[in-house]
Amino acid sequence: MKLATEVTHCDDLMKALDGFRRYASPVLRRWGADLADRLGSGARLLVAGNGGSAAQAQHLTAELVGRYRDDRPPFSALSLHADTSSTTAIANDYGVQEIFARQVAAHGRAGDVLMLLSTSGASENLLVAAEEARRLGMTVRVLTGPAPNPLQRAGDEALCVDAATAATVQELHLVAVHMLCESFDAAVGRLRPSVDRRWTDPVTEGDGI
């Protein structure tokens, strides 16, 4: 029975991936190019999620501040859940629904990007953060599970994964993160054909995560 369950999980993932790559590729290519243009001009990316989606959010920011594959300059990207002192203080003083919105108010500026990850698309703290970001003039992009959902409607743009389980949604969100990084790095290469030697000295190839 265990083997059958594992096979079913893999089958579900492959089925979801087959559809995902067709509609996700042009969206993530555009998001990556736009993000490279904005961050290269001094804007900032803020990212948030809960639970497993928080891990995905931090994976994305690590790839941008560090590197995805080839060496390049670092770019400003913050995972809002990662500051445990701020999140716990805000939760204690203002309520869990405010833990991301208050940080968006502190760090976000017009022209910045807020990316929100959620398997359900219904997390209250992400919805409140999206509202605050829109108020500030930020662009809100979301990765969610199946549409329709509240977060999809709260963002400027959404990429919704059509999958039966939260686990498969999260797995495809990781695929989306890496596709976004591929597009971002390609756009950075076009926008910055020559960069300071500090960022182009040979380094050892590695995942970094």
Q: What percent of the chain has pLDDT over 90?
A: 79
Q: How far is C-alpha 195 from the geometric centre of its chain's CA atoms?
A: 26
- Beta strands (DSSP E) in the chain are 45-49, 77-79, 113-117, 139-144, 157-160
Q: 107 to each of 64, 82, 149, how far by Cα in Å? A: 17, 14, 27
- Please name every residue paired with 159 in a beta bridge, in sequence order, or none if there are none: 143
Percent of the chain residues past pLDDT 70, beyond the cut: 89
pLDDT value, residue 1: 45
pLDDT at 26 over 90: yes
Name the band, by pLDDT with cuts 50, 70 and 90, for residue 208.
low
Structure confidence by residue, pLDDT tens digits, 153-175: 999 999 999 998 999 999 999 99
Q: Which two tokens stand for residue 105?
A: 């108010």
Radius of gyration of the chain (CA): 17
Other beta carbons less than 10 A from residue 136's beta carbon: 15
Confidence check: pLDDT of 17 > 80: yes
* Segments making up each domain of the chain, as ranges: 2-192
Residue 39 is encoded by which pair of tokens? Answer: 């961050």
pLDDT at 112: 98
Q: Which two three-digit tokens encode residue 84?
A: 């445990």
- Mean pLDDT score of the chain, rounded to an integer? 91
Band of residue 33 on the pLDDT scale cut at 50, 70, 90? very high
**What per-residue confidence (pLDDT) applies to 194?**
41
Beta-strand runs (E) in 96-164: 113-117, 139-144, 157-160
Tell me the longest C-alpha to C-alpha distance in the chain: 57
List the CATH code of the domain at 2-192.
3.40.50.10490
For 91-139, how does the pLDDT look when each residue is reduced to its tens digit (9 = 90+)? 999 999 999 999 999 999 999 999 999 999 999 999 999 999 999 999 9
Measure the CA–CA gap between 50 and 52, rounded to whole angstroms: 6
Give the pLDDT confidence score for residue 152 in this predicted structure: 97
pTM: 0.88
94-112 CB burial, b ≥16 within 10 A, e <16: eebbbbbbbbbeebbeeeb
Q: What's the pLDDT band for 18 if we cut at 50, 70, 90?
A: confident
Query: CA 180 to CA 56: how far, in whole Å?
Result: 12
